[in-house]
Structure formats: C-alpha cells, structure tokens
Amino acid sequence: MSKSKLAETIREGFRISIIGAPNAGKSTLMNTLAQRRVAIVSDIPGTTRDLIQTNLTLMGFNVVLTDTAGLRESEDTIEKEGIKLAKEEASKSDGVILVVDASELETKGNSLHLDN
C-alpha cells in the first residue's frame, strides 16, 4: 500500500467486512463492536441481506465495519443478490472477519476443522 493510500485509509477508515454463514453471529458481533443495536439479530437464517455499515473507532483507528449477508447456496433471488454484495464488499475491504458457529467445528488433535 502506498503512503498516500495508507494516509487516506487512516483518515477515512479501515474497511472491515464481517462474513460467514447465516446465523454464525455476524450481526451480534457488529452490535457488540458498535456498542449499540445496528443490525437485526434473529434466529431466522438469511435476515441480513443488504450491507449494514457503521463507523467506529477500534484501538484508536477509524473503522468502517460492514455486516454482510450469510454466505450459502440459495435459490432466493434477493438473498442471492445479498450474497453477491457480501462477496464484492469483502473483496474491496482492507480486512475481513470470518465468523463461524463454534458448533460447526470439530476438534481433531490440536486443530479445528469445519464439518462442511
């Protein structure tokens, strides 16, 4: 990253996307980091379909945090558009937080593996 791009990023905020499967806890994490209700939290998979953004300060840095649609295969046209937006936003971000449901993990030796 060039010095001018870094300066711009520091001034405008680091773009961080929260991605993961539906109901992995992305919106809960967003609300926790924002210290307020920004996103709807529901036990219904596929609740978040649009990009939800909030500006905050983390460890002294400006951050633009984005909650995204859950990544999965879907036949629903609106949900598919949300998943497309999520992938595009993640690819443009300075960083990505991958949220996984701990119940989907299996311990083998000293490492964790996704069941899927």
- Which pLDDT does position 9 carry in this prediction? 87
61, β-bridge pairs: 58
Enumerate the domain spans of the chain.
3-100
- CA nearest neighbour of 21 among 69, 53, 67: 69
DSSP state of 98: E
From first to last of the 116 residues of the chain, give the pLDDT tens digit.
788 888 888 888 999 999 999 999 999 999 999 999 999 999 998 888 999 999 999 999 999 999 999 999 999 999 999 999 999 999 999 999 999 988 877 655 555 555 54
Query: Is residue 94 within 8 Å of residue 14, measured between CB atoms?
Result: yes
pLDDT of residue 109: 55
What pLDDT does 39 receive? 95
- The yes or no reply on domain 3-100 and CATH 3.30.43.10 is no
Model pTM? Answer: 0.85
Residue 62 three-state SS? strand
pLDDT score recorded for residue 116: 47
What is the C-alpha separation between 18 and 20, in angstroms, rounded?
Answer: 7
Per-residue pLDDT tens for 10-35?
A: 888 999 999 999 999 999 999 999 99
